[in-house]
Amino acid sequence: MKYTGKKLDAYSKALSQLDACNVKLNQRVGEIVEIIYDSFGNKLRTWWFDNVELDGVGSIDPCIIQALMKNNDTDIFMEYESEGTIYKAIRTRRYDFSYSFPAKWLLWTDKQIKKFISDEIEKDKKEVKKEVEKDKALVKENDKLIEQALKKLTKKEIKALGLGI
């Protein structure tokens, strides 16, 4: 097939549009990464896609965008570097944001993303509180059983068990 100036010009324009779109996508990914970091109380130094070549940020994998447009669940994978030495884990019990986030977030507002993360953090806190209460109840029940068992033993039996009460 012979190429014409018109076809090459169209190709050149398409590449320019693709580059512009890629810049905007990378900007949005950066914004989302900032939201994730801020939500967990961390300071972001930098981020990059996991498919990056040396000394670059890389770019979003086109397959991810295609999957997103087909309503398939997929994640955008990347790596992060924190600012400073204090680092709080950026995950909840159901989601680990330390290496990826859902691609559908590209379509969400900042407010929706913040709310989602906040809700997940809150669910974790409630679950932990529930587990602590359950553990305390179990300890209390065990203490009661031990106390009842000790009442049934003689002082000699207690001493023989090494309890020395």
- Residues 75 and 101 both lie in one domain: yes
Q: What is the mean pLDDT of residues 159-165?
A: 77
Confidence of residue 55 (pLDDT cuts 50, 70, 90): low
Of the candidates 54, 49, 57, 53, the one whose C-alpha atom is nearest the C-alpha of residue 75 is: 49
pLDDT tens digit string along 13-44?
Answer: 988 888 888 888 888 988 999 999 899 888 88
157 with 133, same domain?
Answer: yes
Same domain? For 49 and 89 the reply is yes
| Residue 159 in domain | yes
Q: Where are the alpha helices (DSSP H) in the chain?
A: 5-39, 62-69, 110-151, 155-160
| Neighbouring-strand partners of residue 47 | 80
**Residues 25 and 59 both lie in one domain:** yes
Q: Average pLDDT, stretch 49-54?
A: 65
Decide if 116 is inside a domain. Answer: no
Say if 83 falls within a structural domain: yes
Domain range spanning residue 101? 5-108
Q: b or e along 1-17 (b: 16 or more beta carbons within 10 Å of the residue's beta carbon)? A: eeeeeeeeeeeeeeeee
Domain-embedded: residue 22: yes
pLDDT at 77 over 60: yes
- According to the 3-state scheme, what is the secondary structure of 113-146? HHHHHHHHHHHHHHHHHHHHHHHHHHHHHHHHHH
Res 164: pLDDT: 67
114: in domain = no
Number of domains in the chain: 2
Same domain, 67 and 135: no
pLDDT of residue 5: 87
Residues 97 and 129 in one domain: no
**22 and 74 share a domain?**
yes
Tens of pLDDT, residues 89-131? 888 888 888 888 898 999 999 999 999 999 999 999 999 999 9
The chain-wide mean pLDDT, for the chain, equals 85
92 within a domain of the structure (yes/no):
yes
Domain boundary among 108, 134, 156: 108
Pairing of strands 75-82, 100-102: antiparallel
In a domain, 113, yes or no: no
Instruction: Pick the most confident of 63-67, 89-93, 161-165.
Output: 89-93
